[in-house]
Structure 1
Amino acid sequence: MTTNSAIAACGRAEATRFRPAEANVPFSLRKRIVRRRGKRSAGCHIRDGPCVDDLHNTQRNIPTTIRLIMKSNFVKPSKSFIRMAGLLAVLSTVCRPDAAAKEVAKTDSADYVADEIVVSSTRTDEKLKNIPRKVEVITSKDIEALDPDNATELLQKTAGVDVIEYPGVLSGVSMRGFVPNYGSYLNPQYVTYLLDGRPLGTYNLASVDMNMIERVEVIKGPSSALYGSKGMGGTINFITKKSRGPIKGTASLGYGSFETFEGNAAVGGSISDRFDFDIGFRYFNQGEDYKVGKNTLISNPDPQILERDIDTMHNSTYSTNSGMMRVGYRLNDNFRVDLRGAFFNAPSVHTPGSIWGYYGEGMKDVYRKTADLSLTGTAGRHSIKFMPYWSKDESNNLKQTEATQNKPSKIYPYYLGDFEEYGFQLQDVIALGNHRITGGLDYDNQTYKTRRYSAPDVAQRPYSADSRTSDFGLFTQAALSFLDNRLIVTPGVRFDATTFGLLDTPLVPNVNTEKEHDGFFSPSLAFQYSFVPELKVHSSIGRAFVAPSGLQKAGEYVDSFGRTVRGNPDLEPETSRTWDVGLTWSDTKKGVRADVTYYDTDFKDFITQVQRTDGSTTYMTYVNAGSAKIRGLEFELSYDFGALADYRYSLRCFVNYTHQFENDVTMGGVTSPMKYVRDGLGSFGIEYDDFRLLSARLSGRYLGTSYEDNYYRSYGRLPNVLVIKNEPALVFDATVGIKINAQNRVDLMVKNLLDENYAEKTGYNMPGRWYGMKYIVTF
C-alpha cells in the first residue's frame, strides 16, 4: 500500500552539523538531525547514505536497518541455523565495532513523505503529488514489514489486486475488474509488468522475488498510450536498487514453519567516483508440505468446494535461488551507463494438483533470466534514455520413468514452454520551463515455442505451432503545468504497428508462415487541479488494447489433435475505454491522506475460439465476440498519530478498499458476472515504529465473492453446477521487529494469523498459519 505519512523526522530541525554528502539532496533534508533524551544523536538523519560532519570535517556512513522474520506450525530451528545466525551477529560487530554500543535512529524520507516520492512509471521522473492518476507506491518499508516470498504476495497484500495463484511457483495479478493471467502466454494479459520501466519478461509473478527491489509503483487505469499492448487495468513497475556512495550490505537468515529456510545477501555502493554496483542473491527452500487453514471467519463455504476436511497439500515442497547484479559507470558529468543481469531458478518444483484430484501431483522446472543495458543522461533541455533488453522465461513439466531391472528411473521434461523477449526503448524528455514533453520509440519482439516428449529424447508433435509477434511503438506525452502548478494536464498518444506470424515448427506439418500486420492508436488525457495545497481533484480518460497472439492472427497449422487451426487476419485487438475521477486530501504535516476514485470501463472485442467450415474443410479460428461493463470505487485512508508528537514515533492506521459496482460480461446475448474477479478487495491495519528499538505491524486482507466456471461438474467430488461461487475470506498477518543495535535486527512474523482456509484459485488451497523468524545484519 502507499506509505503516505509525513516526515518521521528523528527530531526537530536544528543546526546543520551533519549534512548529506551528496550535493543534490534538498535543503529541507539537510537540516534534519536528532534530539533524543535531550541530546543530539550524531549520525541520525532521514535518508540512507553518507553524511558529512562539518564540525570535524569527516564523513560517516549512516547504517541502514537490519531485521529477522517468522511464519503456522513453527518448526524448531536447526543447530546449523543457530550457528549461522550467531556468525552473522559476530560478523556485524567485527565489521562495525563502534556501532555495537550505539543506538542510531533511522527513518527514510521516501517512506514518510509520500507526496515527495519520485515516480518513474509515467516515463518521466515526477513527484507523486504531480501525477494526475491513481498511483500507489509500495515502499521498501512495506517490503521489509511483509517479507513477501514473491511479487504476487506483496501485491495482493498492498495494492488491491485480483490474484490467480497455484502452489508451485505460478501466479499473476490484475486490477480494476480485469481477469488475472496466471502466467500463461496463450491467454491475454491485462496489466503491464515492468522492470525499471522496460518489459519484465514474464507473466509469472511468482518467479519475481523482492530481494533487489527498492519499491513498486502501481498505476491504475489504462497505460497503452505509454507502453502499448496489455495495459488495460494498469501498470506495475518494479524499481531495482541502485546504490551509490560508501559500500553497504545486508545478510539475513530466516527459518519458519513447513521447514522453510531462507538466506539473503545484498551489497552495493561506489567503487570509485565513476564506478558503482549492486549485487544480491537469495535462496529459499520449503522442505515440508504445507498445511492448509482450519477456519473460515466470515463465510460458510460449500464443503465440496473448499474441502475443509483436508489437512495438508501433499507434494507442495520447492526451492528457488535467484540473483541480480548491476554495474554502473559515469561517463562524464551528464551521462552514465548501467549494465544489469538477473536470474531465477526453481528446479524440480513439486506441484500438488487440485484437492479433488482431477489434476494429479507433478513436478516442473521454472527458469528465468534477463539482462539490459541503459544509457541515460542530460544535454541542455534534453533528458535522454536508451535501453536495450532481453529476457527468457522457461517452464518445463517433468515426468519420471519407472525403474526396471536393467534401467534406473529417469526424470525427463514431457512439456517445455519457452518465451523469449527482446527489444529497446529510446526516449527524450524535453524541458520547456515548467512543462515537459516526452517522446520516443519502442521496439519489442516476442517468441513463444513449445515442445513435447512421450519418453526421454522421444519428441512428439506440439499442441500448437511456434509464433512470433513484433511491435514498433511511437509515443509522445506532455506534462503541462499552469497556475503555479495548481493545474497539471498530461495529454498523450501512441501508435503501435504490430507484425504477427507463425514459425516453422518441428513435427508440425504444413505451417503457413505468412505474416499479418495491424496498427492501433491509443490516446489518453489526464488532469488534476489543486484547490488548496492539500486538496486536489484528478481525472483521466484513455483507450487501451490487448493485441492478439501470432497464433490467433496469422497463418495456419495442424495441431496435435489433427485439427486445422487458422489465424484470422481480420481479428481486432481486445479494446477498452476507461475514465475515472477522484478526490485526494493529503496533509503531510498532519499525517493524513485520503483518496476516493470512481472508474468506469467499456470493454469489447473479446477474442474467443470458434469452429468454422470452409467448403469441405472444418477448422478452428478466432473471432471477436462479447463485451463487458466494469464500474467500481477505490477508497484509501490513512492517519499517522505520530504527527501529534512531531513524528518522534510513527503509529499509522490505514485502509484501502476497492468495490465493484458492476462487472458483467455479455456473450451471445447472455449476461453473466465476470469470472475470477472479486467483487471487493481490501487491506487494512496498523503499524508502529519508534525509530530506535521496536517496530510492529498488524494487517488484514479482505477477499470478496468471485465466480469460476466449473469444467468438471461431472466429477464426483465437485458440485454439479455450471458456475462455482467462492465465498469471502479474511487473512491477517503480524510482524514484530526488535533492533538489537544499529547493525542487528530480529523480526518475528506470523502469516495467516487466524489460520484462514482459503484459495486464490478454486481447488488449490493456500497455506494456513505460518510462523517464522529472520535475523538481518547490516555491514
Structure 2
Amino acid sequence: MRETPYKSYAKETNWFGIQMSNTFSFLSHDITYGFDYQTIDVSSLSFNKDGSRKAPYSPDNGRVNTGIYADGFLRFFDEYLIVNAGLRFDTFDLETKQTPLKTDFTPGSETFDIVNPRLGFKYFLDETRMFQFHSTIGTAFVPPESSEMAGYSERELSDGTIMIKKGNADLDPETSITIDFGFSVSKPSLGFFADITYFNTIVDDKIATHVISLTESSYNNAFEAKMNGVEWELSQDFGTLMAQDYSLELYLNGTFFIESEEQISENKWQDIYNVSPLKFNAGISYQDTVFFGKFNIRYMDERKDNDWYTSGYPEITYDDFTVCDLSFGANFQTYHKVKVNIENIFDEDYFEKPEYPLPGRSIYVDYSFQF
C-alpha cells in the first residue's frame, strides 16, 4: 500500500549581505579591490506523519563571512599578454545553536581564516588574436556545513533495521589548489570558437562520508583527493559564417575526468562517489530580430555511490541519463516578449541522488513587457 505523502521538513534561511568594490586604471591596467560581508541564519523543522514536531537532522545554525580582495587585470606587449592576479582574505564564523527538540549535540562555534591567491594569464599567438594560450592557478577553501558537524538522523528499513547518520564535530575545512592550461581558437567574424583545457585539482582534508558500521555512517576528512581531466567547448554560428542577419549556432561543451580519486587510508584510494566521468551539453540555437529558440541535450554518465538505504552501505552505480529541453518565443511591438520552455521533453525518469527524483516534463509560458 502506498504511503500517504506528508510534510516532513521545513527550513527557513535569512540572508543579509553587503558588497563594495572600486576599480581604478593606470596605463593599460585595471585594479579592482573590494569588501564582502554576509550573514546567514538557518532554522530547521522536522515533522512526524501525524504532524507533530520532532528533532531536525541539522541544528539551527549561523554563518558570518567577511572578505577583502584585490584583483589586477594587467596588459603587456601591446596586449598580446594579459595577466590576471588576485588575492583574497576570508574569515568565517560558524555557530551551531540551541535547537528545540534536538539534544544529540553540544552547541558551539568555530572560526576559520584563509588567504586564497590566484594567478592567470592568456597570450595571443598572432596579430588577429585568433589563437590563444591560457593558464590559471589558484587555491580554494570550503568550511564544513553544520549538518556535517552536528547532524543526526535515523531511517528505518523495511526489515526493521535502523540506519543512522551523524555529524562529526572535529571536521576540518577543505583546502585545494587547482592548475589548468588550454588552447583556444576564436574567429568572431566567422562565428567560430573552440577551446580545450586540461585541469588538475588536489584537495587536502576533503570532507567525505565515512562508513562506521553496517548501520552507521558519519563524515570525516579524507587524507587527500585528486581530480584531473579535460574540458572542451566548440561552437559554430552558421548565420555569421554566411553573413546573414540571424544567428544559427551549433554548440558542444563538456567535461571528462581522467582521474577522480580520494585517499581513505594510508595506502588505499577509491573513486570519489557521485562524480560522473563524462558529462556534456549539445544543441542548436536560433535568434533573429523577432524569433528565438534553443534545443539542448544534457548527458551525464554513470556514477558510483554508497547505497545509504541498505544495511552495510554497499557500493552501487547510478544509471546514466539524457535530458532534452526546448525553448522558443518571439519579441513583438518593441516592448513585448513571449517565451515557452519545455523542460525534459521526453519525460525522462532520472535523478542525481536516489529518492530525490528530478522533475518530469514541465511546460512554462512566460510573457514580459519591458519599457
- The counterpart of 2:71, out of the listed 462, 477, 495, is 477
- Tell me which of 145, 169, 172 is aligned to 1:567: 169
AA partner of residue 73 (structure 2): A
Match of residue 196 from structure 2: 596
Q: CA contact under 8 A between 1:427 and 1:441: conserved in structure 2? A: yes
How do residues 135-214 of structure 1 correspond to structure 2 at under 5 angstroms? none
Task: State the 1:595 CA deviation.
Answer: 0.9
- Residue 96 of structure 2: SS of its match in structure 1? strand
Is 1:646 the counterpart of 2:243 in the alignment? yes
Does structure 1 residue 684 correspond to structure 2 residue 291? no
Match of 1:526 in 2: 120
Would you say 1:730 and 2:322 are equivalent positions? yes
Q: Distance in 2 between matches of 1:698 and 1:479?
A: 36
Report the AA paired with residue 250 of structure 2: C
- Aligned residues between the structures: 353
Matches within 5 A, 1:384-395: none
CA distance in 2, matches of 1:657, 1:565: 34
Higher RCO (CA < 8 A, seq sep 6+)? 1
Does the C-alpha gap of structure 1 residues 778 and 455 become closer, same or farther in structure 2, counting only changes over 3 Å?
Answer: closer
One-letter amino acid matched to 2:13:
F
Shift of residue 500, structure 1, vs aligned partner: 2.7
The answer to whether the 8 A contact 1:508-1:559 is kept is: no
| Structure 2 CA distance for aligned equivalents of residues 611 and 700 of structure 1 | 36
Deviation at residue 579 of structure 1 after TM alignment: 0.6
Q: Which structure has the greater CA radius of gyration?
A: 1
Partner Cα distance (1:713, 1:460) in 2: 24
Shift of 1:590: 1.0
Relative distance call for 1:480 and 1:415 in structure 2 (3 A) is same
> Retained in 2: the 8 A contact 1:440–1:475?
yes
Residue 589 of structure 1 aligns to a residue whose secondary structure is helix
Q: Please tell me whether the aligned partners of residues 687 and 698 of structure 1 are also in contact (alpha carbons under 8 angstroms).
A: yes
8 Å contact from structure 2 (residues 235, 249) kept in 1: yes
Distance between the aligned counterparts of 1:437 and 1:578, measured in 2?
23
From 532, 535, 555, the equivalent of 2:131 is 535
1:498 is matched with 92
Q: Is the CA contact 2:59–2:146 (under 8 Å) kept in the aligned structure 1?
A: no
Q: Quick one: which of 657, 662, 665 aligns to 2:262?
A: 665
| Structure 1 Cα separation of the partners of residues 109 and 364 of structure 2 | 55
Alpha-carbon offset, residue 575 of structure 1: 1.4
The whole-number CA distance in structure 2 between the counterparts of 1:729 and 1:575 is: 32
Which residue type is aligned with residue 598 of structure 1?
A: Y
Instruction: Tell me, in whole angstroms, the C-alpha distance in 2 between the residues paired with 1:744 and 1:518.
Output: 50
Listed one character per residue, the Cα deviations across residues 313-347 of structure 1 (whole Å, up to 9, x for unaligned) are: xxxxxxxxxxxxxxxxxxxxxxxxxxxxxxxxxxx
1:547 corresponds in structure 2 to 143
Give the residue type in structure 2 aligned to 1:477: D
**Within-5 A mapping of 1:315-394:** 362-363=5-6
Task: Deviation per CA, 1:143-202: give whole Å up to 9, x if none.
Answer: xxxxxxxxxxxxxxxxxxxxxxxxxxxxxxxxxxxxxxxxxxxxxxxxxxxxxxxxxxxx
| CA distance 1:518–1:645, shift in 2 (3 Å) | closer
Equivalences for residues 600-639 of structure 1 within 5 A: 600-607=200-207, 623-639=220-236
Matches of 1:695 and 1:421 in 2, distance apart?
36
Instruction: Tell me, in whole angstroms, the C-alpha distance in 2 between the residues paired with 1:579 and 1:478.
Output: 19
1:763 Cα offset (Å): 5.0
Taking the aligned partners of 1:739 and 1:455, their CA distance within structure 2 comes to 49
Letter of the 1:546 partner, please give it: V
| Deviates further, 538-547 or 626-635 | 626-635
CA contact (8 A) 1:567 1:622 kept: no
Counterpart selection for 1:701 from 276, 285, 298: 298
Residues 497 and 425 (structure 1 numbering): CA distance in 2 closer, same or farther, change over 3 Å? same
CA drift of 1:497 comes to: 2.1
Aligned residues of 1:503 and 1:511 also touching (Cα < 8 A): no
Report how far residue 559 of structure 1 moved.
6.7
Alpha-carbon offset, residue 592 of structure 1: 0.6
**Equivalent AA in structure 1 for residue 268 of structure 2:** V
* Per-residue deviation, 1:514: 5.0
Q: Deviations over 1:220-255 (max 9, x none)?
A: xxxxxxxxxxxxxxxxxxxxxxxxxxxxxxxxxxxx
Q: Check whether the contact 1:469–1:549 (CA below 8 A) recurs between aligned residues.
A: no
How many Å apart are 1:464 and its aligned residue? 4.9
Q: Please provide the CA RMSD for this pair.
A: 3.8
When residues 361 and 596 of structure 1 are mapped into structure 2, their CA distance, relative to the original with a 3 A threshold, is farther
* SS of the residue 1:643 aligns to: helix
* C-alpha separation in 2, matches of 1:706 and 1:611: 19
* Counterpart selection for 2:273 from 675, 679, 685: 675
Deviates more, 1:542-551 or 1:603-612: 603-612
Distance 2:42 2:252 in 1: 41
Residues 435 and 478 in structure 1, CA contact (< 8 A), matched pair in contact too = yes
Question: Equivalent pairs: percent with the same residue?
Answer: 29
Alignment CA distance shift 1:565-1:586 (3 Å): closer
Does 2:60 align with 1:466?
yes
- Residue 655 in structure 1 maps to residue 252 in structure 2: yes
Which residue type is aligned with residue 603 of structure 1?
V
CA offsets 1:345-386 (integer angstroms, 9 cap, x no match): xxxxxxxxxxx98xx5635xxxxxxxxxxxxxxxxxxxxxxx
2:167–2:219 contact (8 Å) kept in structure 1: no
**What residue identity is the alignment partner of 1:594?**
A
Q: Which deviates more from structure 2 when the two are superposed, residues 479-488 or residues 727-736?
A: 727-736
Q: What is the SS of the residue equivalent to 1:442?
A: strand
CA separation of 1:755/1:439 partners in 2, compared to 1, >3 Å: closer, same or farther?
A: closer
Query: Where in structure 1 are there 5+ consecutive unaligned residues?
Result: 1-355, 364-397, 399-413, 613-619, 715-719
> Aligned partners of 1:536 and 1:565: how far apart in 2?
47
Q: State the 1:487 CA deviation.
A: 1.1
- 8 Å contact from structure 2 (residues 261, 271) kept in 1: yes
Question: So what's the TM-score if we normalise by structure 1?
Answer: 0.40
1:584 matches 2:227: no
Q: What is the alpha-carbon distance in structure 2 between the residues aligned to residue 651 and residue 486 of structure 1?
A: 31
- Identify if the C-alpha distance between structure 1 residues 723 and 688 changes in structure 2 by more than 3 Å, giving closer, same or farther: same
- Runs of 5+ in structure 2 lacking a partner? 155-164
How many Å separate the matches in 1 of 2:84 and 2:248?
36
